[in-house]
Amino acid sequence: MLKQTIQIFGRVKPTKKKTALQVTTSSKMVYSVNNEEPTGANLEFVVPKDEADGIVNNKKECYMFRFKRVFDQAVKQEEIFENIAKPVADSVLAGYNGTIFAYGQTGSGKTFTITGGAEHYSDRGIIPRTLSYLYERFSQDSSMVYTIHISYLEIYNETGYDLLDSRHEASRLEDLPAHVEGSDSRVITNPYVEVKEFLYEQEPIIIYLFKKVIIMEDSDQNIHLRNLSMQQSANEEEALNLLFLGDTNRMIAETPMNQASTRSHCIFTLHICRRDPGSAILRRSKLHLVDLAGSDRVSKTRLNGHLLTEAKYINLSLHYLEQVIIALSEKNRFHVPFRNSTLTSVLRDSLGGNCMTSMIATIAVDKRNIDESISTCRFAQRVALIKNEAVLNEEVDPTLIIARLKRENQLLKEELTLVTGEQKEDQLAVEEIQKLEELIKAFLSDPDPEIRLSLGPDMRKIQYCFFLLKRMVLAKQEEGKRHRDGHYSAATAVQKEGLQSAQHNAGEVTRLREMLTQRDNEISILVKMLKREKKRVNDAGQLVDITEGQRLASKNGSTKPMLGEGSTDTHSADRDTRAVQYLKKGPQLSLGKQEAFDMFIRDNEAHVSIENNKSLLKQRSVDAKRLGEQLNEARNRITELKKQLVLRRKRRAVHVAVMGNEFEEEVDSVEENLRKQIEHEKKMYNSIIGQLKSLKMEIEHLQLLLEKAKVKLQKDFHNWWSQETTGICVGGHRQMSHRVGEGNLATSFT
């Protein structure tokens, strides 16, 4: 059992204005970081008194808080992972539960710290870096069997939803239950009451149904989540795809404090099982990576409508979380209100339970956010008082025990049969003899000294196995006798030695060829990905061409749809082709909407990020091709050196056979040099393979970033287009009503 307090860390968000960081009107620092203390780090805020408050002003100016470590603005994501997430991941691999959660006001960098940015590969957050680290450790520890399952829970307005639910289906709005509003409604009161998100055009509205996650508690006060799926992930690529799927389904909205504010709490959980192949003991552990929604001060942000409702639920859940923290930090409290909210119920083990927990306090040091940052630091100080008791999660797998007991039962039955003397007298079948020969070969070739040969209670099989063993021993003795009598000539010995060496080298070459074939397949997959991306851009250029006649028709009021995917019509390109890169798989767009989309992406920052990531992806593909060529060259050099080594050994053996053993050199310098060159080439070969692996991970992550950015760009355009069309329709309706009123008024006067 490990007893330790929750580790708290601080991270300062970079600011755009340097004046807010450096000096105030009193020429004092707004904040200062001191990581040189032996017992931790200090974060100090200086808030000068306002002269408008009068001469008598007892307001506190200096606030100092203690953390385990404070990360200033220039700190990179990699350093955050190495100092915060990596120790927790190591403890999870050892069998302890772990939790990392980020807390702070909205826009202070919580999602960037936990999940990462959507623009650059270096901006990966704690979750993708932890996944890479865990799978790397799995590959290094081949003595253990690891399995990992992933769940992604979202708590929106005090209701849980599974972000990885694969059972939801897209439905038309008119097919939904009666409590969902009709197709003419463009506002849904709660988008998570049976509805996750929707896109509407003139075609039918598409709705995505999600099931609610229900919290249940057993007699031992353990929390169970019904309707929360756990997806098994065999490799890092599958895990990143699940993360991308969950992030795509999250609720994100624009607020006055943050352009992309997450409006829900999200808990990404890794369920890890570790097992020794020869043992029935399992180690199960969980790692919670929590991205809390940011608190909003409504009096400052002036929220209304849905954003106000969401802010109420967010602030209420964070208030209940603070109540739980206060109750746990007070030694004389007997009741802790975990059941007040869904968030505190799910994080029950992480707060004062069987878990090793770390907290990241995200801090914004702009002048308008200083008060909220000080409140965040005060909350972190209370969290640091909570002590958790982490226990090694070991259990016995009943299925393995059952298998072991079955084997023991079978052995006892065989012994009993031998004692009673019940034996068969007929001859062994041909299939049985072949199986016995295979068992004997496997028994003799197994290096394990404790291996047992299980033949059952049949004395016929036992006697035949003894016969086989005796025959093998006699054959070995006869072979040794021939060697002693000189039946083998020197040439025969050289030929046999060369044959054995050739067989050994052939096996090594076969293994290397299989490995190279696998690496070549990986490289070809990466090249195909790049070709598909190029083809998509070229197809977009062909599909977006519009003739001059269509332009004239559009001026006359016609709204012919654009060419959809799969069309074979081609024209000379004379307009921007960027729109089809994002929307050609979606519904067909009218010419007016196509032009609007061109204007939308021309001024959108996300489009610049997408183009930069595309260029980076092409560059990484070129690097992969270059490494592939180096890999082939290294493989050819290894093959050539091995041929030279085999030839050298043959010549040396012939020389010894002809001249005698007295002319044999103890160490052949040429052969030793060849072996050193082979080892050097093998190191280069393995180094190139490692670079290809890391390059493959980066390419896959860049592709996920591109897909995520494209989805977000589509949603942003649909929302913007809906607002624009709604405003035009409302304005036109008012103008038409005004004209009709004037006409009626004129008619009444006439």
Name the binding residues for ATP: 104-111
Provide φ and ψ at 710, rounded to 5°.
Answer: -65, -45
Q: 326-352 burial, b if ≥16 CB within 10 A, otherwise e?
A: ebbbeeeeeebebebbbbbbbbbbbbb
Distance CA 89, CA 126 (A): 11
Q: For the chain, how long is the longest CA-to-CA vector?
A: 138
Cβ atoms of 251 and 266 within 8 Å: the answer is no
Nearest to 49 by CA among 60, 39, 38, 41: 60
Cα–Cα distances in angstroms (integers) from residue 188 to residues 192, 197, 199, 719, 720, in the given order: 9, 10, 12, 14, 17
The Cβ of residue 528 has, within 10 Å, a number of other Cβ atoms equal to: 11
Residue 267's nearest CA partner among 383, 157, 151 is 151
Question: What is the Cα–Cα distance from 237 to 221, expressed in whole angstroms?
Answer: 36
Packing angle, helices 126-140 and 236-248, rounded to 10: 160
Q: Which position has the token pair 């049949």?
A: 458
Q: Is residue 274 classed as helix, strand or coil in its secondary structure?
A: strand
Question: How many whole angstroms separate alpha carbon 659 and alpha carbon 644?
Answer: 22
Cα four-point dihedral sign 109, 113, 119, 122: positive
Q: Which residues are annotated as a binding site?
A: 104-111
* Distance of alpha carbon 543 from alpha carbon 579, whole angstroms: 10
Sign of CA dihedral 74, 79, 80, 84: negative
Name the residue type at position 383: V
SS3 of residue 47 by DSSP: coil
For strands 212-217 and 159-162, give the pairing. Answer: antiparallel
